[in-house]
Amino acid sequence: MSDNATPPAPADLLAAATRAAAANGVDHPVDIRWVKTDRYSLRRTDGTRPQSNDPVYLIQMTGNFVAYAAKIPPGSKAPRGNALTVTVDANSGQLLGWSVLLEPHDLARFGEVSSLRRES
């Protein structure tokens, strides 16, 4: 992380969520929620092996997603799911990863859940 890193505001989290949703086929995701947690807590959820336990925001939304950017074998169809998660570094706002899921996670197991809403 650089010295110039700025923690993301809710508007930044919403922007990251909507960009990821659009990249996965959904222009208007619904039920956008987030929780502040840490990398180690997400290990069983996202399959990563973080080298440090940095704080992160896990953002989750629902829609009919198609993982267009997923690495898949030639001839295979892109994964599809009803939920999309986005992991954002809590210190810098950097996107760390995303996943298309069949069913949403229970975010409450990671901490206090908050909602993100688009301005009308």
**pLDDT tens by residue, 33-78:** 999 999 888 887 776 777 888 999 999 999 999 999 888 898 999 9
Q: What is the pLDDT of residue 1?
A: 43
Whether residue 120 is predicted with pLDDT greater than 50 in this model: the reply is no
The type of residue at 10 is: P
pTM greater than the 0.85 cutoff:
yes
Measured between alpha carbons, how far apart are the two ends of the chain, in Å? Answer: 34
Q: 45-54 — which CB contacts under 8 Å span 24+ positions?
A: 45/85, 45/105, 46/85, 46/87, 46/97, 46/99, 48/97, 54/89, 54/90, 54/91
- For 66-111, the pLDDT digits (tens) are 999 888 898 999 999 999 999 999 999 999 999 999 999 999 999 9
Amino acid of residue 32: I
